[in-house]
């Protein structure tokens, strides 16, 4: 009987540790689009699993963590304007989980930053901080680093 109880405890421990794996419903890709005259777009795309959402950069305090981009200083690169944001499934309105107006992206969220290369070969690098939620839970914020050579 002790062996059976021991086996059940081991099975339950393994089951719960496997189900507690780190959820990662957003997969990020970073690409460059040529805009001509030494100008480019950094295109940051989050592909989200069905039922998961990430958030706009423009969110008031008291809600989810807004998506934010942090660029490593580089004297060879000049950022132009602000990051644009769009997505394949965009929801805007009062979000019941936070009881506030939010802009959310489902399926795909696309953020673009225009920049100019001032001198020679260089790279654009930094990280994106974001948060994902579904109808039942929100995951802690994550950071994803990027670096693209030009």
Q: How far apart are CA 62 and CA 36, in angstroms?
A: 41
Query: Which pTM does this prediction carry?
Result: 0.83
Strands 68-71 and 142-149: unpaired
User: Which pLDDT score is estimated for 21?
Assistant: 56
Supply the DSSP symbol for 119.
S
* Range 37-48 average pLDDT: 97
The domains found in the chain, sorted by start residue, are 24-149 (2.60.40.1250)
Angle at 116 between CA 70 and CA 71, to 5 degrees: 10
* Range 7-23 average pLDDT: 41
- Taken in order 47, 52, 53, 54, the sign of the CA dihedral is negative
């Amino acid at each position: 009987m002790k062996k059976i109880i021991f086996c059940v405890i081991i099975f339950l421990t393994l089951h719960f540790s496997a189900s507690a794996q780190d959820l990662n419903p957003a997969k990020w890709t970073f690409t460059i689009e040529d805009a001509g005259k030494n100008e480019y777009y950094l295109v940051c795309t989050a592909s989200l699993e069905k039922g998961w959402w990430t958030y706009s950069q423009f969110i008031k305090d008291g809600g989810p963590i807004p998506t934010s981009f942090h660029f490593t200083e580089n004297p060879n690169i000049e950022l132009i304007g602000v990051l644009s944001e769009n997505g394949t499934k965009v929801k805007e309105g009062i979000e019941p989980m936070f009881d506030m107006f939010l802009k959310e992206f489902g399926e795909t969220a696309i953020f673009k930053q225009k920049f100019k290369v001032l001198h020679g070969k260089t790279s654009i690098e930094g990280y994106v901080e974001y948060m994902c939620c579904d109808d039942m839970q929100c995951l802690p914020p994550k950071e994803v680093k990027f670096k693209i050579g030009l």
